[in-house]
Structure 1
């Protein structure tokens, strides 16, 4: 069974809205009618919840028009197990916007189904940015975990990917709160965030890390967004929770952090011996448990005895120890 270490959750670190999931989210029923709307959808497409909830998905998906039977939309989603792709949408103000569209199938406890429509501005940078952050179009291509919770924070809909992100099977998740299945301070923190989202009708984005079984890999970082779902009169209906594996962006940020530290420490001196020791100090424990920096004798050195290296007794170039660091003192 998949396990999750709640001690790894670090919900206090909120990201900028542009880092991930700056995405219009709409919840559609089995007939393709908009059942819930979000502030991000209103910001991107210009329609308020009152304008669009209860109307056809044709207003969300520009490839449909009002004359298109919703059954055609539903059948296409079922046939393709969703609906990813690029298209164009006309905002309420008449402007045409190129977007990435993704439809995700959600399943309920009673066998009912919903579709989550995510629409992202295609003009945003795709994939990982140079600063290591993850941009919105990730939703159009990466596996994402999706769940919908009601006003009491009980799980009512979930997709097939969510289990791989937090270890909760649909049977354990549906009809229950986080604190019912993942008791602890961090589960309470997650629910506090969702209550805040419900109360304010806002979106919050956080990062956390989990430890999964060896067969699925070691510690993995995720980014999760909490968006308030709104009804026809703007009332809060529940919370949409979307999570994505951001291992690549996490590693990119760590690499940039290493480069920043290296440039600051290694560029501070022209002394070869000092630079060698700084290199060893930088590498431990970041890259290794033990590091020795040995430089060939022909390089201009300061004072200190050379270290001779000869496995067979033959004469080999002498090396001088320029740096030494270990995770063990002494």
Structure 2
């Protein structure tokens, strides 16, 4: 059965990564793309051979089974709800929503209607993280003591949505959620927030720098850092009693990059090159053919939003969005 996709929004990630992967994926068809700006939708549609349309018209199309939604975080709830009510499976950019209450409501709606709702964290589909987790479980590092992870990017141009508090911008939602979800991937959803700090500047109404300490099962401590503005950093280290393992290009590796995971005693583990974008989309398409199999991923998505709420509470930071 062919899964017919529509894309709700012409974000850069949709054009650079997701649309090309959809075109290359067997059993998947890209049918339509929507934008609030007709010219953007037309240009996108011409590039990828699909139909240009509006948001509402796309959701009303009977030839669209699933929707990819790369809109700003504060718009996720509104348009995810609309897509689910229209009977569409939804792949929404991470996080599913910026806060837990709306995430729970959307998950409940998806379950009630027998639809797949998944947030588009791609990195857990890369085999390098499975290699790390397998090494941890096999005792290769000895007893695991800590995780240190960091994701940061240089400053963005003025007007970037990441600087817009009304759209739930900021470093935590855009970047900090990656090492947060990594901690969930490695240690499970039982992690809790021990303390957190979020910092801004007088010129910005969003958080630009953050540090979070998490308590994980088996007395493991995870420390995550993230920043919007500064050097590009994208790595993590898992430390054990006997050895540690370091992962570079952790969250956004190119499809043709072969990771070498470095151990502190000079040894290394090689994970195969892997296209995490295609893998994530293929896994979503598989779930759409059996929606009731997706419960664990929905639970992890809710837990991520609960942890985001806990981080803001620990840092004394209020979330301001349009909803």
TM (norm. structure 2) is: 0.25
TM (norm. structure 1) is: 0.25
Greater relative contact order, per chain length (Cα 8 Å cut-off, separation 6+): 2
Q: Which has the higher strand share?
A: 1
Q: Which has the higher helix share?
A: 2
